[in-house]
Amino acid sequence: MRRSPVQSVKQSVFTIMSLLLLSSIQVSAIQESNIATHMKSNIDKTTDLLQNKMIEAHEKNSKIFELFDPVFDYNSMSKIALGKNWKKLSSQQRIDFKNAFTLKLKQSYIDKLQLYTDEKVIVNKTEKLKRTRIKLHTVLIGKEQDYKIVYKFHRTKINSEWLIYDVEMIGVSIMKTYRKQFSEFLSSNTFDDLIKELNKNKINN
């Protein structure tokens, strides 16, 4: 069947539209050159939000995650946290784990933000480690000591945007602590126990 001219115009319009849409996604994604500026603007917005007494805590948290959700690679983080054990899981178990672990990470992040009062955050330079890895150095000026916080980005294979796969605070890698804990836990417990454990904390908080 031959296509009518109208149909082929429609189709090319559709192609152009979807191309445009794709490229707009590319633009909004974090590129190597704007990691520092993007994060600086996110951090500034977050500290402003935290100091704003007019907004309710609940709303603050959701606004903060609107800023940070697109930057954190929760998929890779879930994989890293489980290490070898990830391969043993079924696809459903992987989804369950990812959901529970993402919530746990967010809860822990909110907890830390509660401690924030009016400290200054300085965003320093990025440091390229490999073609696909970049560290962003920041410092939180605390009341008694300064905390070095390093955001670790990797270039994703899907649309080569840069996303966070780990955060280091005063030299402690958050993903390393989880990976260690989970591998220890799973050496004497089942995967279902782990999910229970992760969800248990959620309820307690």
Please name every residue paired with 149 in a beta bridge, in sequence order, or none if there are none: 138, 169
187 binds another protein (CB under 8 A): yes
142 binds another protein (CB under 8 A): yes
Helices assigned H by DSSP within 115-190: 174-186
Please name every residue paired with 166 in a beta bridge, in sequence order, or none if there are none: 152
Q: Which helix (H) or strand (E) holds 95?
A: helix 91-114
Instruction: Sketch the per residue contact string, 94 through 133, with another protein: x for CB under 8 A, - otherwise.
Output: --------------x--xx-xx--------------xxx-
- DSSP three-state, residue 148: strand
Give the residue, chosen from 31, 93, 99, 173, that forms a contact with another protein under the rule CB under 8 A.
173
Residue ranges with strand state E in the chain:
120-130, 133-141, 146-155, 162-169, 172-173
44 binds another protein (CB under 8 A): no
Which pair of tokens denotes residue 127? 């440091």
143 binds another protein (CB under 8 A): yes
- 197 burial level (CB within 10 Å; 0-12, 13-18, 19+): middle
80 vs 123, beta carbon nearer another protein: 80
Which CA distances in Å does 33 have to 39, 117, 166? 12, 31, 19
Which pair of tokens denotes residue 37? 């500026």
Single out the segment in contact with another protein by CB under 8 A; choices: 11-19, 24-32, 39-47, 82-90: 82-90
5 binds another protein (CB under 8 A): no
Number of residues that bind another protein (CB under 8 A): 40
Give the residue, chosen from 2, 53, 58, 84, that forms a contact with another protein under the rule CB under 8 A.
84
15 binds another protein (CB under 8 A): no
Single out the segment in contact with another protein by CB under 8 A; choices: 15-23, 41-49, 58-66, 197-205: 197-205
Which pair of tokens denotes residue 4? 């009518």
181 binds another protein (CB under 8 A): yes
Give the interface with another protein as residue ranges (CB under 8 A): 76, 79-80, 83-84, 87, 108, 111-112, 114-115, 130-132, 142-144, 154, 157, 165-166, 168, 170-173, 175-177, 179-185, 187, 197, 201, 205
